[in-house]
Amino acid sequence: MEKSSNTDSKKTGALWLATALVVANFFYGTNVIAVKYISPRLMEPVALTFSRLLFSAIVLLSIPLFSRNTETIRGKELGVVMIAGLLGMTCNQLFSIKGIAATNPIHASLLIMSTPIIVSILAAIFLKEAFGWNRIGGLVLGLSGAVLLISMRKQSTSAHAPTLVGDLFILAGSVCYSSYLVLIRRISQRYSPMTILRYAFAFGAAFSIPIACDEFAAIDWKQFNGYDWFALLYIIITGTLVANILMNWGVMKWGPSRTGSFIYFQPLFGTAGAILLMNESLTIWKLIAGALIIAGVWLNALKVKRLD
């Protein structure tokens, strides 16, 4: 009877965790819509980046004041997290928001999906991880989808025209975030995900100050109406802080691979939101490009077949 109770408890816990990861990727996916709505109309991308990093850093740095988690990072590993914060928070957030503001929201949702493939490439180069035939195939498929999506942008009849610069910013943001994941992989076994996240956001916010102070000071807060405030709070609270905490909970319980598999929900939610809320159209080229990228990510996630 007790064993049955433990089994039911584990199933319930797994269901809650899976639900939390779907919710996190819903926030990530629809965050694209909120960013597109508010930037650059009311806030420059740099100012929006600083706002979300600063808020998250303040909340995460205050957690040890109300909990027993007083874990600290020291020595060479602090330097690693500092560089990770610069790349994964400052640069990734800045490039991603500038890209979303400059291109089509469906393009942004699909191109962000390239992150797992880029992680595999960087891990193979810098961490000497196996790179088998499945990952080569995933790279080819994902790259083909990205190239197709970018090259067919001029045939788009969307409400928000895609641009080459915007698409390249999105890819640059994915490269920066992938670099962040590779950098923290070696120290992730020695520190809790929340500790690493706290330090990364703190460094990310600090690095953003010199480049964001002028744009942040220039914001005219009086122009914000109720919908604008909702979009801003949605970006800062749910699309940044809550989503990252939920994903870190998943990494802590299930590991990065199983948690990362939920990324497939992001383009689904992002594309649906763009169609329903922003009058976007889903063309055959976007469908084909999206299918290639998703297939590439799926193939990349399979168990590695080592090259002989």
Q: What is the pLDDT of residues 228-250, one digit of tens each?
A: 999 999 999 999 999 988 988 88
> What's the rounded Cα separation, in Å, for the pair 63 and 48?
23
pLDDT digits (tens, 9 = 90+) for 54-63: 999 999 999 8
pLDDT above 70 for 157: no
- Whether 4 shows a pLDDT value over 70: the answer reads no
Contact 138, 120 (CB under 8 A): yes
Q: How many CB atoms lie within 10 A of CB 213?
A: 13
Q: For 86-97, write each residue's pLDDT tens digit.
A: 999 999 999 999
What does the pLDDT look like over 58-88, one tens digit per residue?
Answer: 999 998 888 777 789 988 899 999 999 999 9
- Binned at pLDDT 50, 70 and 90, residue 303 comes out as low
pLDDT exceeds 90 at position 221: yes
Please, what is the average pLDDT of the chain?
86
- Residue range 294-302: mean pLDDT, rounded: 83
Q: Is 266 helix (H, G, I), strand (E, B) or coil?
A: helix
Predicted confidence at residue 209, as pLDDT, reads 95
pLDDT surpassing 60 at residue 1:
no
**pLDDT of the residue at 5:** 58
Flag whether pLDDT at 287 surpasses 60. Answer: yes
Predicted pLDDT of residue 308 = 47
pLDDT value for 127: 80
| Dist CA 254 CA 188 (whole Å) | 13
Q: What is the 3-state secondary structure (H, E, C) of 163-202?
A: CHHHHHHHHHHHHHHHHHHHHHHCCCCCCCHHHHHHHHHH
Tokens describing residue 125: 């180069």
Query: What's the pLDDT at 271?
Result: 87
- Chain-centre distance for alpha carbon 34: 14
Banded model confidence at residue 158, pLDDT cuts 50, 70, 90: low
pLDDT of residue 257: 63
Which tens digit of pLDDT belongs to each residue from 15-62?
888 899 999 999 999 999 999 999 889 999 999 999 999 999 999 999
HSE-CB of 82 using CA atoms within 13 angstroms: 9
The region of weakest confidence among 144-148, 196-200, 201-205, 297-301 is 297-301
More confident residue, 208 or 121: 208
Per-residue pLDDT, 81: 95
Greatest pairwise CA separation for the chain in angstroms: 64
pLDDT category, 164, cuts 50, 70, 90?
confident
> What percent of the chain lies above the pLDDT cut of 90?
41
